[in-house]
Amino acid sequence: MEPEKLKNLTIEDIVCLVQAERSYGDSWKKRGGIGAFMMLARKWDRLENKTAEYGWDVFEAIQDDNRPEGILDDIRDLRRYLLLVEEEMERESDLRTPIPDEITEGITLPKFTPREEDATDTDASE
């Protein structure tokens, strides 16, 4: 695992989610918790269907999938939808369970500050 790469993925997720919200609003939760679950399930179903051809070897399936809307895109979408669900629940509740200090010992990440071009770029699609 490389924390810097994870940080970059997270920043990319945040930028994409902000852009998607500008285009679609909060349509992902329009039908409540059941609709949000079905959105997650649909992405998982796509992953399951595509990786089944490879004996569920997700790495091999990704390497063999050259489509722009392929397996890796579904993984990104699922990860972002999961972030939306968790953020929605944390916003209005005390569900957040702090990570024990011994797990994060020695890990320091800089505070997230969106770049100006990320905040104003609305051409990217969901």
Q: Which pLDDT value is given to residue 100?
A: 72
Report the run of H or E that residue 57 belongs to, with start and end: none
CA distances from 36 to 23, 54, 78, 125 (A): 18, 28, 11, 20
Please name the amino acid found at residue 92: E
Give residue 90's pLDDT band: very low, low, confident or very high (50, 70, 90).
confident
- Asked if residue 69 belongs to a domain, the reply is yes
Structural domain for 79, as ranges: 26-92
- Asked if residue 13 belongs to a domain, the reply is no
pTM higher than 0.85, yes or no? no
* Tally of domains within the chain: 1
Contact (CB, 8 A) for 19 and 124: yes
> What tens digit of pLDDT does each residue of 6-16 get?
999 999 999 99
